[in-house]
Amino acid sequence: MIQMKAIDTFELSKLPRPNMQQLLCDLRRMGLQPLMEFRKPWNNEIIYQFYASYHLDTRAETHFIHWATKGKHYKVDFITFSHLLGLHHRDRTSTAITDIFALAMDEYQYMYLDGHRADEKTVWLKPYYYVLNNILH
Measured over the CA atoms of residue 97, residue 10, residue 19 and residue 3, the dihedral's sign is negative
* pTM across the whole model: 0.42
136, part of any domain:
no
CB 6 within 8 A of CB 38: yes
- Structural domain harbouring 73: 42-84
**Residue-wise pLDDT tens for the chain (137 aa)?**
445 566 788 888 888 888 888 888 888 887 778 777 777 677 778 878 888 898 989 898 888 999 998 889 999 998 888 888 777 777 666 656 556 677 788 888 988 999 999 998 888 898 888 877 776 65
**Residue 127 to residues 19, 113, 131: CA-CA distances in angstroms?**
7, 9, 6
Q: Are 131 and 23 in contact (CB under 8 A)?
A: yes
Q: Is residue 137 part of a domain?
A: no
- When divided into structural domains, the chain yields a total of 1
62 assigned to some structural domain = yes
